Amino acid sequence: MARFVIVGDPQFRGVNPIARKDDFPSAILAKIDEVHQIAKRVSADAILQPGDLFDSPMVSYSVLLRLMVMLQMAPCPWITIPGNHDLFGSNADTYPRTPMAVLEQAKVINVLKNNSLYFPIDMETGHFTKDAITITGRGFDWEMDANHSTYTAPVNSDIHMVHGMLVQEPLPIAAKHTLIKDVQTPARVTICGHDHLGFGIIRRPDGKIFINPGALCRETAHTAEMERQVQVAILDITKDKDESWLEPITCARPAEEVLSREHIEAQSLRKERMDYFLTLLGQESESKFLEVREIIDGIASKEALPATIKDEAMKRIAAAREELARRGVA
Ligand SMILES: [Mn+2]
């Protein structure tokens, strides 16, 4: 039997996302450390990571080193694929000059690209060799989610790793995605990253298994992200049997402690004010305003605003225009 720990997008970076109140890089490293402890405890043969190891390929040497030092402490090999965030401009052709390629060349991680195959090799190489389990992987490229076949394993592999928008239900927004029920693949297990919320472990009626435990990081403060459990999946697999389950990452702090919704609230307040402003403009149907000064005049008289407010608005607009002229924009 081979055993794997499956880890969703770490999105490692050197600076905090706007929503995080704690030291985000240290929090991610602590989670990776916990992944290693879990791998050691369950005697995992490898850690499978379906892409977006980095938040951006534009990292400094010191950030790359921090991650490298942590990954070097792994008790078993990391096997990964390039996610859109690991690449420059989400372009798969840029892979050879990414920090992920540096980690691959340094033999810190194993990277599957272009539907390549990972064979179990003997222990001299440091790789596992158990039950002849084969793993294939396709990193992100522009074709992802263009059709269902982008999730199809290239050969009859046991496990196939992909990085794309694989979901259970159609998305409510116009974004490319693929439904789990539409995937046709020879692989017994499909492991997917990209969608940070994940869908856990799904066994289809035809016996095919799909795993996305959700991202290791919580970068945003959206409600669903705040409410979800940060977790990894564990997969036991032989040539004819498999079993999988989820395990929580216990060092993940409660969402209210590390995530702030202030910027989201400020954004919705700004949107509310903008909507109100546009409504006011809409009400001025009798006159046609070409000049911003006339718009302000119109609103000020309709809302009976004091002259001081009107003057302040004029002053700010004049200053903004001057600044634009200085920059050569207007
Ligand atoms: Mn991604």
- Give the span between the Cα atoms of 189 and 223, in whole angstroms: 30
Taking the centre of ligand 1 as the mean of its atom positions, its distance from the CA of residue 216, in whole angstroms, is: 12
Give the tens place of pLDDT for each residue, 12-27: 999 888 888 788 899 9
Residues 37 and 174 in one domain: yes
120 vs 133: CA distance, rounded Å: 7
Mean pLDDT estimate for the chain: 89
Which residue did the predictor score with more confidence, 325 or 131? 325
Domain edge (last residue) among 258, 282, 300? 258
Pair (249, 307) in one structural domain: no
Alpha carbon of 41 to those of 75, 167, 234, 266, 314: distances in Å? 10, 31, 12, 44, 67
226, 258, 290: which is the final residue of a domain? Answer: 258
Is the domain of 162 the same as that of 17? yes
- How many Å lie between the centroid of ligand 1 and the Cα of residue 123? 32
Contact 61, 106 (CB under 8 A): no
Q: Write out pLDDT tens, residues 201-218.
A: 999 999 999 999 999 998
Give the residue-averaged pLDDT of 89-118.
94
Domain CATH for 196 = 3.60.21.10
Q: Give yes or no: residues 269 and 250 share one domain.
A: no
- pTM here is 0.79
Q: Rank 115-129, 203-217, 291-305 by mean pLDDT and report only the highest.
A: 203-217
Average pLDDT over residues 125-135: 69
Q: Tell me: do 124 and 61 sit in the same domain.
A: yes
User: Are residue 189 and residue 305 in the same domain, yes or no?
Assistant: no
203 and 280, same domain (yes or no): no
Q: For residue 192, how far is its CA from the centre of ligand 1 (angstroms)?
A: 10
* Alpha carbon distance 130, 1 (integer Å): 6
Whole-number Å distance, alpha carbon 49 to ligand 1 midpoint, is 12
The neighbouring-strand residues paired with 232 are 247
Cα 47 to middle of ligand 1, angstroms: 18
Range of the domain at 155: 2-258
Q: Are residues 78 and 111 in the same domain?
A: yes
Per-residue confidence (pLDDT) for residue 33, from 0 to 100: 97
Task: Return the residue matching tokens 């892979």.
Answer: 95
What's the total number of domains in the chain? Answer: 2
Whether residues 80 and 191 share a domain: the answer is yes
> What is the 225 CA–ligand 1 centroid distance (Å)?
15
pLDDT at position 5, please?
98
Query: pLDDT per residue over 312-324, tens digit each?
Result: 988 988 888 888 8
How many angstroms does the Cα of residue 295 sit away from the middle of ligand 1?
44
- Asked if residue 322 and residue 242 are part of one domain, the reply reads no
Alpha carbon of residue 284 to chain centroid: 44
Asked whether residue 216 falls in the same domain as residue 299, the answer is no
Task: Tell me which residue of 49, 61, 26 sits closest to 191, measured CA to CA.
Answer: 49
The structure tokens listed for 33 are 């450390």
Are both 158 and 229 inside the same structural domain? yes
Q: Which two tokens stand for residue 292?
A: 């911003």
Q: How far is the CA of 51 from the centre of ligand 1 (A)?
A: 7
Where does a domain end: 242, 258, 274?
258
From 26, 27, 25, 33, select the one nearest 7 (Cα to Cα).
33
Cα of 55 to ligand 1 centre, how many Å? 9
